[in-house]
């Protein structure tokens, strides 16, 4: 079925007809995944750098744990967030279950380990080069962190894109905590699951192509920004 030419026609028609329902779904997918990446970056970038700069007992364990959590199955993250946000759960009174906020939390949980672990790796390489120089200048570790992150920025864009890719592609977590409610929490991946379960395989594949195109556009944008900055700032 993957060679079905109908899927391309459907994907093209969906985009060219400016299908309103599709745009709502695409918009929500982007909002949820980009927010999750932003929040995960705000925590994960400093966390990854801190793991390089500060030695503490158990650091090796934390690094192994982060690396292992990169493989956290989305459906497990979803179930965990569901149990937290359910009315019977500890954060139930906020009524966040089956809202996009719940989806952001679940995706953030999924990609935080990726961003933190890969940031640590990027920063560690730089730190090896810079350490003597920074130390001789008497720069404190806290001041080293932004310098290292900034100088690792081109590698870190790829790290953030990896996080975004995982967030926008996963379905298991957002299905459980979002509920795939039409017009409220339906995103690209859950719409694809729904159309597949209706047996409407060409439309499901067409939606998949739209998602792939969108992710490609975002990656191309990030690549161009990176190239431009590289040339300007050297």
Partner 1 sequence: MHARVRPFAPLPALCLLSLALPPLAAADDSITLASTTSTENSGLFGELLPAFKAATGIQVNVVAVGTGQAFELARRGDADSLLVHDTAGEEAFVAEGYGTERADVMTNDFVIIGPGTDPARIRDAGTVADALSRIAEAEAPFASRGDDSGTHRAEQRLWESAGVMPGGEWYRELGSGMGPTLNTAAAMDAYTLADRATWVAFENPQNLELLFEGDEALFNQYGSILISAERHPHLQHDLAEQWHAWLISEAGQQAIADYTVNGQQLFFPNAAE
Does 61 help bind partner 1 (rule: CB under 8 A)? no
Should residue 98 be labelled a site residue for partner 1 when binding is judged by CB under 8 A? yes
Q: Report the residue from 59, 146, 212, 216 that binds partner 1 according to the rule CB under 8 A.
A: 146
Taking CB under 8 A as the binding criterion, the range among 2-10, 53-61, 70-78, 150-158 that sits at the site for partner 1 is: 150-158
Any long-range contacts for 209-213 (C-beta under 8 Å, 24+ apart)? Answer: 209/7, 209/8, 209/11, 210/11, 210/14, 210/15, 210/22, 210/26, 211/29, 211/168, 211/169, 213/11, 213/15
With contacts defined by CB under 8 A, name the span among 57-65, 105-113, 181-189, 208-216 that binds partner 1: 181-189
Q: Of the candidates 10, 11, 37, 81, which one interacts with partner 1 according to CB under 8 A?
A: 37
158-171 burial code (b ≥16 CB/10 A, e <16)? ebbbbbbbbbbebb
Among the listed residues 12, 22, 30, 75, the single contact to partner 1 using CB under 8 A: 30
- Please report, in angstroms and rounded to a whole number, the separation of the first and last CA atoms in the chain: 47
CB of 71 to partner 1, least distance (A): 22
Helix (H) or strand (E) holding 31: helix 20-53
Distance (Å, whole) CA 10 – CA 183: 21
Taking CB under 8 A as the criterion, the residue among 23, 153, 213, 220 binding partner 1 is 153
Residues of the shown chain interacting with partner 1 in the complex, contacts defined by CB under 8 A? 30-31, 34-35, 37-38, 41-42, 45, 86-89, 92-93, 95-101, 104, 133, 143, 146-147, 149-153, 156-157, 160, 179-182, 184, 194, 196-201, 218, 221-222, 225, 233-234
């Amino acid at each position: 079925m993957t060679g079905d030419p109908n899927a391309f026609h459907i994907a093209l028609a969906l985009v060219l007809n400016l299908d309103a329902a599709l745009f709502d779904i695409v918009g929500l997918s982007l909002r949820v995944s980009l927010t999750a990446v932003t929040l995960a970056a705000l925590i994960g970038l400093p966390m990854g750098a801190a793991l390089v700069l500060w030695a503490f007992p158990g650091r090796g364990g934390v690094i192994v744990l982060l690396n292992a959590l990169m493989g956290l199955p989305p459906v497990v993250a979803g179930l965990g967030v569901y149990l937290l946000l359910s009315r019977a759960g500890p954060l139930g009174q906020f009524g966040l279950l089956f809202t996009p906020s719940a989806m952001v939390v679940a995706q953030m949980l999924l990609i935080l380990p990726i961003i933190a672990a890969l940031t640590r790796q990027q920063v560690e390489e730089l730190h090896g080069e810079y350490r003597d120089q920074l130390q001789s200048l008497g720069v404190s570790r806290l001041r080293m962190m932004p310098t290292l992150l900034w100088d690792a920025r081109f590698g870190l864009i790829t790290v953030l894109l990896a996080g975004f890719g995982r967030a926008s592609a996963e379905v298991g977590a957002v299905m459980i905590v979002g509920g795939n409610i039409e017009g409220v929490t339906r995103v690209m991946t859950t719409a694809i699951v729904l159309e597949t379960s209706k047996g409407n395989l060409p439309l499901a594949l067409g939606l998949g192509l739209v998602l792939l195109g969108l992710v490609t556009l975002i990656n191309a944008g990030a690549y161009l920004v990176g190239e431009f900055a590289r040339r300007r700032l050297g």
